[in-house]
Amino acid sequence: MSAASPLLEVRDVKVYFPVKHGIFGAVRRWVKAVDGVSFELAAGETLGLVGESGCGKTTLGRALARLVPLTEGSIRLEGEDMAQWTGAQLRARRRKWQMIFQDPYNSLDPRMTVGHIIGEALEIHHLASDARERQARVRQLLESVGLDGAYAAFYPHEFSGGQRQRIGIARALAVDPKLIICDEPVSALDVSVQAQIINLLQDLQQERGVAYLFVAHDLAVVERISRRVMVMYLGKVVELGQAAAVVRTPRHPYTQALISAVPEIDDQSQRPRIVLSGELPSPIDPPSGCPFHPRCPVAEARCKLEVPLLREIVPGHWAACHLAGPASRAEA
């Protein structure tokens, strides 16, 4: 789906969590949090991942970071299967990817100074020869994210939310990763601070060539930072394409509904608001056929019976919808 020799190759990834019953904990059902996701990510690229709460986007990000186990599928980073790494082999390779968490308040250990939080990775991976070099690297990392190097002696509670997220970014950059998984890194911040963090991430990407998987629920934010956008619904990818194409000419009814909910600054906009009926179905017992059909305003009989494949509607633009075509309803 993307350029040859991708940095990251994800193939048919499934993450199921058991639902246990009875005193003996027998597994009778499964929560299908991620249900057969495939995509590629090029070096230095930003892929936005969007969807409403419960769609599986955060679970997918955590699976890619090896924080939750895979049920099925493969994740290859620079051609190597990440699922096969264990123990010392896994620890040594964790330098290749890092994660920025959503909550800047709980993602930093309050008992550690900023210098210790950032310098810990340098020590674990033997990236500094001695304490003096480690301290110098920490100061350099803080300055690279727009903070004073003297802040290394401070504790997390002494900083604002935006400053804490900058510290989290510095921590992720400490090991010079190839991939950073950004799990809604600006959703807990004020709008003005969000813009600053997004600008920082873009500047760092240009300087270092790092790739981002940018998880978010705000399509406006994702369009700004991403080259491509992937939309998830109930554990599955329903649309994937260039950011501008997905936002301006969405091919899947679910994406159309998400975009219609984004506030418009221009009062003259005539874009209709699409209000979905019902709630997100349970991932324990997903609907038959297309997972979106119970809420879809244009669903037909076929949609209830046949699972749509993720197919290329126009070059570079993929959608999992029986009714999607080169002339989408969004363009009509």
**Tens digits of per-residue pLDDT, 120-153?**
999 988 898 899 999 999 999 999 999 999 999 9
Q: Is the pLDDT of residue 59 over 70?
A: yes
pLDDT for 196: 93
Evaluate the CA torsion angle 223, 256, 191, 47 in order and state its sign. Answer: negative
Distance separating alpha carbons of residues 106 and 127, to the nearest angstrom:
26
pLDDT for 132: 94
Identify whether the C-beta of residue 63 lies closer than 8 Å to the C-beta of residue 70: yes
| The two three-digit tokens of residue 30, written as one number | 């499964």
Overall average pLDDT of the 74-100 stretch: 89
Which of 77-86, 93-102, 164-173 is predicted most confidently? 164-173
pLDDT for 264: 63
- pLDDT over 90 percentage in the chain: 70
Alpha-carbon distances, residue 123 vs 32, 119, 120, 133, 195 (angstroms): 38, 6, 5, 11, 32
pLDDT confidence bin for 327, thresholds 50/70/90: low
- The model's pLDDT over 276-291, given as tens digits with 9 standing for 90+, comes to 777 788 889 889 999 9
pLDDT for 171: 95
pLDDT for 269: 53
- The model's pLDDT over 240-265, given as tens digits with 9 standing for 90+, comes to 999 999 999 999 999 999 888 776 64
Whole-number average pLDDT of the chain: 89
| The two three-digit tokens of residue 181, written as one number | 């998984």
pLDDT for 263: 67
Q: Evaluate whether the domain defined by 8-263+270-331 bears CATH number 3.40.50.300.
A: yes
pLDDT for 46: 97
Pairwise pLDDT comparison (13 vs 217), residue with the higher score:
13
pLDDT for 24: 66
Overall average pLDDT of the 213-224 stretch: 89
Other residues' Cβ atoms within 10 Å of the Cβ of residue 38 = 15
pLDDT for 262: 73
User: How wide is the angle at C-alpha 56 spanned by C-alphas 321 and 244, nearest 5°?
Assistant: 55
Buried b (16+ CB within 10 A) or exposed e, 278-296: eebbebeeeeebbbbbbbb
For residue 131, give every residue at least 6 positions away whose Cβ sits within 8 Å of its Cβ, in sequence order, or none.
Answer: none
Q: Is the pLDDT of residue 294 over 50?
A: yes
Overall average pLDDT of the 301-318 stretch: 95
Overall average pLDDT of the 21-42 stretch: 86
Pairwise pLDDT comparison (264 vs 100), residue with the higher score:
100
